[in-house]
C-alpha cells in the first residue's frame, strides 16, 4: 500500500517529483529493499526445498505452491530465447499475490442483521430486553458471536472476514461496562424512562436512551449522564478518570 502510494506520486513528472520528495523517495526505496530481503529469504528457501524434493509422478508429498509455478515460467527474451523471472519480478508477483488474496475480491453481501435478532424461530421473545439470555449458564440461550456453532447474530461479521479485532473489542467492552457498573450507581430518572423504539441516525439508536443519575460522590459536579451514544459514554469515562 505504502509503495503503491509512492509510485503514484512519482508517476507524475518524475524529474521534478524525485527532487521535490527526496525523503519520501528514500523511504519508498528503503521499504522496497526491506521487502526484497524478507521475500527473497523465503523464495530462496522454497527454491532449495524444491531442488531437494525428488521428481516423481506421485506429487502428494510435495504441495505445489504459487511460487513454484513462478520458478517454472519462461519468458521470451530479446535474443529470441527464453529467460526465467528475475528476483525483482518474483518479489513483485509474490507481493501482489498476497495483496490479492487478502483484499476484497467478491461482490458486497449485505445481511439484515437486525432481522436476525428479531427472528422468533431463533430467539425466545426476541423483542424483550433480556440481557440475561446471553449469560453462559445452562438455562440461557447462550451467545456465540464467532458464528462457529451456527449464525444467530453476527455483530462482528462471520466466516473468513470476521472482525480481526473481535477478542480485543469484547475484552474492552466487558472491561468498560464492568468498571462503570462497579464504580458508579446508576438510577433511572423518574419521568425520563427509556424507550427502546428505533431512531435512525448514522446507526440505529434507541428513541430515548437511558437517562441515569450518577451519584455526586463519584462525579464531582453530580451530573446526570445520558447513555446511548458513544460521546456520552466517553464523557462518563473521562469523568471517572479525572
Ligand atoms: C465492538 C467493536 C467492533 C465491532 C462491532 C466490529 C465489527 C466488525 C465487522 C462487522 C467487520 C466486518 C466483517 C465482515 O466483513 O464480514 C469488522 C471487520 C474488521 N474489524 Fe472490527 N469490529 C469491532 C472492533 C474492532 C477492533 C477493536 C479492531 C482492531 C483492533 C477491529 C479490526 C477489524 C478488522 C482488521 C476488520 C477487517 C477484517 C477482514 O476484512 O479480514 N475491529 N469488524
Q: Where are the alpha helices (DSSP H) in 53-86?
A: 66-72
Question: Are 156 and 176 within one domain?
Answer: no
Cite the beta strand spans of the chain per DSSP E: 75-76, 82-83, 187-188, 195-200, 204-208, 211-213, 224-226
Distance between CA atoms of residues 67 and 87, nearest Å: 12
Write the residue with the smallest CA distance to atom 1 of ligand 1.
Answer: 169
Q: What is the pLDDT of residue 55?
A: 66
* Residue whose C-alpha cell reads 476484497 in the numeric block: 104
Q: How many domains does the chain have?
A: 3
**10, 43: one domain:** yes
Judgement on whether residues 140 and 176 belong to the same structural domain of the protein:
no
pLDDT at 211: 77
**Residue 165 beta carbon below 6 angstroms from any ligand 1 atom:** yes
Of 73, 102, 131, the one marking the end of a domain is: 102
How far is Cα 168 from Cα 59, in angstroms, rounded to an integer? 42
Query: Within this chain, do residues 25 and 96 fall inside the same structural domain, yes or no?
Result: yes
Which of 79, 102, 125 is at the close of a domain?
Answer: 102
- Are 84 and 41 members of one domain? yes
Please tell me the predicted confidence (pLDDT) of residue 241.
31
Question: Dihedrals φ, ψ of 134, to 5°?
Answer: -90, 0
Q: Give buried/exposed letters for 116-133 (b at 16+ CB in 10 A, else e).
A: eeeeeeebeeeeeeeeeb
Q: Which residue has the cell 439470555?
A: 133
How does pLDDT run along the chain (242 residues), one tens digit per residue? 445 555 666 766 778 888 888 888 888 889 999 999 999 999 999 999 888 876 665 555 557 788 989 999 999 888 888 999 999 999 999 988 887 766 666 777 788 888 888 899 988 898 888 888 887 766 666 677 888 878 888 889 888 788 989 999 999 998 998 888 888 777 778 888 888 888 888 888 888 887 777 775 555 444 444 444 333 333 333 333 32
- pLDDT at site 171: 92
Are residue 40 and residue 75 in the same domain, yes or no?
yes
Residue 238's pLDDT is 33
The verdict on 142 and 201 lying in the same domain is: no
147 and 183 belong to one structural domain: no
Q: Kindly state if the Cβ of 153 falls inside 6 Å of ligand 1.
A: no
Looking at the fold, whether 97 and 185 belong to one and the same domain comes out as no
Q: Give the Cα separation of 174 and 180 in Å (integer).
A: 10
Grid coordinates representing 119? 427472528
Contact 94, 66 (CB under 8 A): yes
- Per the structure, the complete domain to which residue 158 belongs is given by 111-164
The answer to whether residues 95 and 139 belong to one domain is: no
Q: Are 96 and 10 in the same domain? A: yes
| Ligand 1 pocket member 3 (CB < 6 A) | no
Which of 145, 155, 165, 203 most suits a substitution to test ligand 1, by most atoms within 8 Å of the C-beta? 165
Could you tell me if the CB of 147 is within 6 A of ligand 1? Answer: no
Predicted complex ipTM exceeds 0.95: yes
Same domain membership, residue 177 and residue 151: no
Pocket of ligand 1 contains residue 157 by CB under 6 Å = yes
62 lines ligand 1 (CB under 6 A): no
Q: Is 163 annotated as a binding residue?
A: yes
**CA 166 to centroid of ligand 1, rounded, Å:** 7
The residue among 141, 164, 187 that closes a domain is 164
Judged by DSSP in three states, 35 sits in: helix
CB neighbour burial string for 200-238, b if at least 16 within 10 angstroms, e if fewer? eeeeeeeeebbbbbbeeeebeeeeebbbbeeebbebbee
Amino acid at each position: 500500500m505504502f509503495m503503491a502510494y509512492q509510485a503514484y506520486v512519482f508517476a507524475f513528472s518524475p524529474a521534478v517529483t524525485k527532487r521535490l520528495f527526496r525523503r519520501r523517495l528514500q523511504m519508498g526505496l528503503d521499504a522496497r529493499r526491506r521487502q526484497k530481503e524478507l521475500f527473497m529469504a523465503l523464495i530462496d528457501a522454497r527454491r532449495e526445498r524444491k531442488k531437494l524434493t525428488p521428481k516423481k509422478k506421485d506429487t502428494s508429498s510435495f504441495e505445489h505452491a504459487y511460487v513454484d509455478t513462478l520458478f517454472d515460467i519462461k519468458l521470451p527474451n530479446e535474443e529470441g530465447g527464453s529467460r526465467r523471472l528475475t528476483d525483482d519480478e518474483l518479489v513483485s508477483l509474490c507481493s501482489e499475490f498476497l495483496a490479492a488474496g487478502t483484499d476484497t475480491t467478491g461482490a458486497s453481501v449485505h445481511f439484515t442483521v437486525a432481522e436476525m435478532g428479531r427472528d422468533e424461530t431463533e430467539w425466545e421473545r426476541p423483542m424483550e430486553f433480556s440481557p440475561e439470555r446471553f449469560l453462559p449458564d445452562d438455562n440461557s440461550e447462550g451467545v456465540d458471536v464467532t458464528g462457529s456453532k451456527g449464525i444467530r447474530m453476527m455483530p462482528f461479521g462471520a466466516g473468513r472476514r470476521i472482525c480481526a479485532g473481535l477478542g480485543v473489542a469484547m475484552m474492552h467492552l466487558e472491561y468498560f461496562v464492568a468498571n462503570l457498573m462497579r464504580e458508579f450507581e446508576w438510577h433511572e430518572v423518574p419521568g425520563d424512562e427509556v424507550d427502546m423504539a428505533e431512531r435512525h441516525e448514522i446507526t440505529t439508536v434507541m428513541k430515548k436512551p437511558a437517562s441515569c443519575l450518577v451519584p455526586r460522590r463519584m462525579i464531582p459536579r453530580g451530573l446526570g449522564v445520558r447513555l446511548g451514544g458513544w460521546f456520552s459514554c466517553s464523557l462518563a469515562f473521562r469523568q471517572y478518570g479525572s
